């Protein structure tokens, strides 16, 4: 096994990969008890992307062949962040190394692929961490603690929404996200995966789902100035879910919502209390408790700001932003790697999310409720 006196990181992909690069580069400054992190190598699909990564983050080596990172004994961490369709072969290759693995969502493009990854993970007794960074909001960390302590009582219902306006312009190119072959699904993979992870983590695993998926713009240019091609990924999805604990709720995601910026919200309703949180109001968790006097049973605003245990900066009284979630997620991965603790969320959580994605797509195709399949 590699030594972790210093984390020497190689990143595959420079789309979302640049966000992970920034988070890993910042981790030691925010958590100085962690070993230093060095960004050593970057693998990109084109040489110009590698040049840009080296310029922005100081990567010493750059390549268009990701296997060079896997064979590099100088690396002890691999970040898997290419387009979705490449996750499957790359994860299989990563699991055959002894390097620590950090994976952007979704785990794979299909449940069958996810099962193969998990089977090899178990065979090799190797795991990795999923980059579900939304969990690392201090408000949602508090929400998780309150739910686990029983503060909400029995969970009755939930509602989770993720809206963006990123593709509201029908002339905007979708590139690989417009093709099911490369993206798997549209917002179901891209945005709803965050909601599914949060629901499983906070309140429980969906066991049956119904869904409606829509593609509102049937054709788009795949590259700027090019001819229009047919889009076969979803622009919007609504999922009804029944959980194993009896709770019911909805998940909705859309990438064509005019007025939305990065609008993720979640509401959880229990027999004793309820919670709600919105990414655009990220510094506060809202709690309503029916045990309060009648005149105090409305929503109470709890400032959670930047309360990260063990963080050296910037201070718990400084307003939080989404980039801080990425840093905390990366730091948790580094700490788990250093201490030999199980990753949470690990690859199996990625598989659970993929099972809900696949069941939702099947429910839409067949216009019926579908059971969520087991991952293994």
pLDDT of residue 294: 84
What angle do the packed helices 87-95 and 111-124 form, to 10 degrees? 10
Q: What stretch(es) of the chain map to CATH 3.40.50.720? A: 7-133
pLDDT band with cut points at 50, 70 and 90 for residue 3? low
Distance CA 227, CA 172 (A): 12
Asked if residues 325 and 136 have their Cβ atoms less than 8 Å apart, the reply is: yes
Q: What distances in angstroms separate CA 95 from CA 40, 68, 87, 116, one per listed residue?
A: 20, 15, 12, 11
Which one of 3.40.50.10800, 3.30.360.10, 3.40.50.720, 3.30.565.10 gives the CATH number of domain 134-321+352-366? 3.30.360.10
Task: Note the pLDDT tens digit of each residue in 253-305.
Answer: 999 999 999 999 999 999 999 999 999 999 999 999 999 888 888 999 999 99
- The fold for domain 7-133 equals Rossmann fold (3.40.50)
Using one digit for the tens of pLDDT, what is the confidence trace for 60-117? 999 999 999 999 999 999 999 999 999 999 999 999 999 999 999 999 999 999 999 9
Question: Boundaries of CATH 3.30.360.10 in the chain?
Answer: 134-321+352-366
271 burial via Cβ count (<10 Å: 0-12, 13-18, 19+)? exposed
**Average pLDDT of the residues of the chain:** 96
* pLDDT band with cut points at 50, 70 and 90 for residue 2: low
Given a contact cutoff of 8 angstroms between Cβ atoms, the answer to whether 355 and 111 are in contact is yes
């Amino acid at each position: 096994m590699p030594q972790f006196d210093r984390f020497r990181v190689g990143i595959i992909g420079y789309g979302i990969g640049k966000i992970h690069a920034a988070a890993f580069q910042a981790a030691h400054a925010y958590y100085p008890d962690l070993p230093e992190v060095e960004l050593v190598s970057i693998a990109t699909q084109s040489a110009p992307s590698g040049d840009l990564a080296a310029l922005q983050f100081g990567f010493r080596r750059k390549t268009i062949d990701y296997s060079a990172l896997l064979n590099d004994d100088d690396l002890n961490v691999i970040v898997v962040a290419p387009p979705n369709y490449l996750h499957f072969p790359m994860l299989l290759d990563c699991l055959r190394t002894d390097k620590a693995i950090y994976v952007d969502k979704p785990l794979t493009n299909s449940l069958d692929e996810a099962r193969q990854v998990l089977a090899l993970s178990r065979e090799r007794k190797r795991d990795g961490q999923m980059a579900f960074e939304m969990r690392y909001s201090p408000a949602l960390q508090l929400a998780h603690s309150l739910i686990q302590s029983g503060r909400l009582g029995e969970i009755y219902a939930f509602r989770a929404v993720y809206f963006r306006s990123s593709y509201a312009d029908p002339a905007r190119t979708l590139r690989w996200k417009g093709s099911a072959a490369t993206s798997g699904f549209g917002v179901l993979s891209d945005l709803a995966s965050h909601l599914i992870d949060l629901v499983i983590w906070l309140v429980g695993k969906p066991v049956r789902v119904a869904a409606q998926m829509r593609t509102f713009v049937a054709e788009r240019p795949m590259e700027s100035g090019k001819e229009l091609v047919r889009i076969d990924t979803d622009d919007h999805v609504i999922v009804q879910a029944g959980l194993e604990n009896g709770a019911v709720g909805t998940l909705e995601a859309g990438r064509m919502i005019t007025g939305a910026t990065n609008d993720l919200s979640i509401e959880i309703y229990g027999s004793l209390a309820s919670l709600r949180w919105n990414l655009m109001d990220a510094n506060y968790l809202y709690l309503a408790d029916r045990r309060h006097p009648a005149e105090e049973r409305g929503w109470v605003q709890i400032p959670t700001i930047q309360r990260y245990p063990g963080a050296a900066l910037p201070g718990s009284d400084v307003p939080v932003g989404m980039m801080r979630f990425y840093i905390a997620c990366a730091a948790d991965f580094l700490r788990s790697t250093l201490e030999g603790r199980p990753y949470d969320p690990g690859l199996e959580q990625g598989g659970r999310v993929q099972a809900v994605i696949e069941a939702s797509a099947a429910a839409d195709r067949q216009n019926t409720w579908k059971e969520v399949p087991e991952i293994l």
